[in-house]
């Protein structure tokens, strides 16, 4: 198949695609307008066609075509196409003539003169067949209504297997007038200056409406100058691990336990549950008792070392009923020998500006 031909056709279109007209109309000026195009096309059939008597040996040739379309909006357009093709024949000195008709959808790339196109076509050149096409093109506007264009397409057979290529050069004219720009409204007359009223605490509410004098300048205030407060949820979590078959609290966790104690002191209406856990090694009843000893050990540090009331601390052993890591590996057992505790409280804080 002439795969190289398609690449050559696309490359032939690229130089013209690099032009951008400085005075090209905007997409808004082109939408909701009909357009028509006349073009010349160089056409390269699939090499399988050239070797096929069924296709009359059609070879490279040209065509003259017409497009009629409508720009639906800034990006999309639809068009109908008719092309009269005149192709060489590899089997005789006689040209092979026929028609190509079809319909395309076009998508115009924003802020660029480039568009992509795709559609379906019916051919009678050589024999009757249908194909889907996809391509890329570019417009170079000479005026707001008239543009030169170049377009390259690849045609993939539907009813018959083939892959053709073609390059078009032509001109497009857009019918109708571009929509007129809406007039700029006249500016509103400036209002008379209002009397100046002071704002002593600089909270944005004037003194005649301010019901909360001297609010902190960092606080966001309501319509009467009072600080706005919000309820926020704050929490702290404790995670500590133990050695195998041990309920001794490691010294490296004392700092975290102290942070938990300080949180409980800051929010005296909160309580904490210390959950002890064990790895799945040994008998369940033993592990349940071991996890309780671990929870009791952490609770004792909170109460005896950091002064938290015992009534606020609940120690519960869960044994192996809530594993964090599944499996019967040393790593999983190490993760599951642990303490978990979380305390959540609500705090009323001023909303900052």
Q: Note the pLDDT of residue 61.
A: 95
Which residues lie closer than 8 Å to 24 by C-beta, 6 or more apart? Answer: 113, 139, 141
Q: What string of pLDDT tens digits covers the 353 residues of the chain?
A: 444 444 444 444 444 444 444 457 888 889 999 999 999 999 999 999 999 999 999 999 999 999 999 999 999 999 999 999 999 999 999 999 999 999 999 999 988 899 999 999 999 999 999 999 999 999 999 998 999 999 999 999 998 999 999 999 999 999 988 766 667 788 888 887 877 888 888 788 888 888 888 888 888 888 888 887 777 677 788 888 888 888 899 999 999 999 999 988 988 888 889 988 988 888 999 989 988 999 999 999 999 999 999 999 999 999 889 888 888 888 888 888 898 888 877 767 677 77
Residues 333, 262 share a domain: yes
Cα 34 to the center of its chain, rounded Å: 34
**In this structure, are 112 and 23 located in the same domain?**
yes
DSSP β-bridge partners for residue 76:
107
Together in a domain, 115 and 236: no
Task: Give the DSSP per-residue string, 201-239.
Answer: T-SSS-TTT-SSTT--TTB-B-TTSPBPEEEEEEEEEEE
22 found inside a domain: yes
Q: What is residue 17's predicted lDDT score, i.e. its pLDDT?
A: 44
* CA nearest neighbour of 153 among 94, 215, 100: 100
From CA 164, how far away is CA 268, in angstroms rounded? 81
Residue with tokens 């040739």: 61
What is the Cα–Cα distance from 119 to 202, expressed in whole angstroms?
Answer: 66
Helix (H) or strand (E) holding 91: none
Last residue of a domain, one of 157, 174, 191: 174
Residue 122 in any domain: the answer is: yes
- At 13 the pLDDT is 46
pLDDT at 296 (0 to 100): 94
| 218 within domain boundaries | no
Mark whether 255 and 166 lie in a shared domain.
no
In a shared domain, residues 120 and 243: no
pLDDT at 23: 58
Please tell me whether residues 160 and 39 are part of one structural domain: yes
Q: Are residues 164 and 24 in the same domain?
A: yes
Same domain membership, residue 139 and residue 257: no
CA distance 277 to 94: 92
Q: Same structural domain for residues 164 and 65?
A: yes
The values of phi and psi at residue 205, to 5°, are -110, 125
Q: Is residue 212 in some structural domain?
A: no
Q: How many CB atoms lie within 10 A of CB 56?
A: 20
Let me know whether 147 and 285 are in one domain.
no
Which secondary structure element, helix H or strand E, spans residue 264, and what is its range? helix 254-266
One domain, residues 168 and 236: no
The whole domain housing 249 covers 229-350
Task: Identify whether residues 155 and 257 lie together within a single domain.
Answer: no
CA–CA gap between residue 99 and residue 115 (Å, rounded): 25
Residue 113 to residue 147: CA distance in whole angstroms: 10
Q: Residue 312: which H helix or E strand, with range? A: none
In a domain, 19, yes or no: yes
* Residue that finishes a domain, picked among 174, 191, 211: 174
Q: Is 98 contained in some domain?
A: yes
Sheet with 229-241, side-by-side order of all strands: 229-241, 338-350, 272-276, 313-317
pLDDT value of position 218: 82
Q: Model-level pTM?
A: 0.48
Does the residue 170 lie in any domain?
Answer: yes
Using CA atoms, how far apart are residues 318 and 341, in angstroms rounded to an integer? 13
The answer to whether 325 and 332 have CB atoms below 8 angstroms apart is: yes
Report the distance separating Cα 307 and Cα 262, nearest Å: 10
List the structure tokens of 284. Answer: 């369940």
What does residue 336 show for φ and ψ, rounded to 5 degrees? -80, -15
What CATH number has the domain bearing residue 287? Answer: 3.30.1330.60
Q: In CATH, what number is assigned to the domain containing residue 148?
A: 2.40.160.20
Boundary residue ending a domain (138, 156, 174): 174
Is residue 197 situated within a structural domain? no
How many domains, in total, are found in the chain?
2
């Amino acid at each position: 198949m002439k795969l190289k031909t398609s690449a050559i056709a696309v490359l032939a279109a690229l130089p013209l695609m690099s032009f951008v007209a400085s005075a090209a109309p905007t997409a808004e000026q082109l939408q909701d307008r009909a357009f028509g195009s006349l073009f010349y096309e160089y056409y390269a059939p699939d090499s399988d066609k050239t070797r096929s008597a069924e296709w009359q040996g059609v070879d490279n040739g040209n065509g003259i075509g017409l497009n009629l379309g409508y720009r639906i909006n800034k990006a999309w357009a639809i068009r109908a196409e008719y092309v009269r093709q005149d192709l060489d024949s590899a089997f005789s000195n006689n040209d092979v003539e026929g028609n190509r008709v079809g319909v395309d959808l076009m998508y115009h790339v924003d802020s660029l003169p480039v568009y992509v196109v795709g559609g379906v076509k019916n051919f009678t050149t050589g024999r009757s067949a249908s194909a889907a096409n996809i391509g890329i093109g570019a417009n170079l506007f000479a005026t707001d209504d008239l543009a030169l264009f170049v377009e390259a397409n690849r045609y993939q057979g539907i009813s018959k297997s083939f892959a053709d290529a073609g390059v078009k050069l032509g001109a497009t004219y857009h019918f109708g007038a571009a929509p007129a720009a809406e007039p700029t409204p006249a500016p509103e007359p400036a209002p008379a200056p209002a009397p100046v009223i002071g704002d002593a605490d600089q909270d944005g509410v004037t003194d005649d409406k301010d019901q909360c004098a001297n609010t902190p300048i960092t606080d966001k205030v309501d319509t009467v100058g009072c600080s706005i407060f919000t309820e926020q949820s704050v929490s702290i979590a404790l995670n500590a691990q133990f050695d195998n078959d041990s309920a001794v609290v490691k010294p490296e966790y004392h700092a975290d336990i102290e942070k938990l104690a300080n949180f409980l002191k800051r929010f005296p209406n909160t309580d904490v549950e210390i959950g002890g856990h064990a790895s799945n090694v040994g008998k369940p009843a033993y592990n349940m008792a071991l996890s309780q000893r671990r929870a009791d050990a952490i609770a004792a540090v909170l109460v005896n070392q950091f002064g938290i009331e015992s009534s606020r601390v609940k120690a519960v052993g869960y044994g192996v009923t809530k594993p964090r890591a599944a499996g019967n590996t040393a790593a999983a057992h190490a993760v599951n020998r642990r303490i978990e505790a979380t305390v959540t409280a609500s705090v009323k804080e001023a909303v900052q500006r």
